[in-house]
Amino acid sequence: MKIYFCGSIKGGRELVETYALIINLLKKHGEVLTEHIGDSKYAKSGYSPSRQVFLQDSDWLKSADVVVAEITTPSLGVGYELGLAESLGKKVFCLYQADKKEKISSMILGNEYFAVFPYKNIDELPKIINEIISGEI
């Protein structure tokens, strides 16, 4: 299974450790195409040219079987990726910190295409990820 993980990069890296945890949980179920999102050094080491990032990420997204996004930190890029995933007919699962619901876009929360899951603490993530990937949710 190929998994495309989305998380904020330029919008803020406050949750990079949470991204890394989610990525490690997802790796138990398949190949995470965007493993670099969980690397705390990624944003500090500079970025590839924008066109290169767009082309690579678009190709990865097209090849993915499922898309999982951590959406607590608002991000234009993640929003774009989610819209593209929907247009491609990909299964999309969104996770966010329950106490930050007011920060989550109504375009995500109100879109019934996306399966959206709040979590109160990171200890809940293994169960949520297992249920998402195994199709129990």
Domain ranges of the chain: 2-132
**Could you tell me the CA-to-CA distances from 57 to 4, 16, 29, 73, 125 in Å, in that order?**
9, 18, 20, 19, 25
The answer on pLDDT for 137 being more than 90 is no
Helix or strand (DSSP H, E) at 132: helix 125-134
Query: Which pLDDT tens digit goes with each residue over 63-102?
Result: 999 999 999 999 999 999 999 999 999 999 999 999 999 9
Question: Which pLDDT value is given to residue 91?
Answer: 97
How far is it, in rounded angstroms, from Cα 7 to Cα 82? 11
The answer on pLDDT for 11 being more than 90 is no
How far is it, in rounded angstroms, from Cα 91 to Cα 86? 8
Interacting residues of 56 by C-beta distance below 8 A, sequence separation 6+:
48
- Mean pLDDT for all residues in the chain: 93
Pair type for strands 2-6 and 31-32 = parallel
Question: Which pLDDT value is given to residue 47?
Answer: 65
Query: If 0-12 CB within 10 Å is exposed, 13-18 middle and 19+ buried, where does residue 37 land?
Result: buried
Question: Which pLDDT value is given to residue 98?
Answer: 98
Tokens encoding 25: 């949980």
Instruction: Read off the DSSP letter of residue 121.
Output: S
Percent of the chain surpassing pLDDT 90? 83
**Could you tell me the CA-to-CA distances from 67 to 24, 35, 116 in Å, in that order?**
15, 13, 12
Question: Which pLDDT value is given to residue 49?
Answer: 85
Band of pLDDT at residue 41, cut at 50, 70 and 90 = confident
Band of pLDDT at residue 43, cut at 50, 70 and 90 = low
Domain 2-132 sits in CATH 3.40.630.10: no
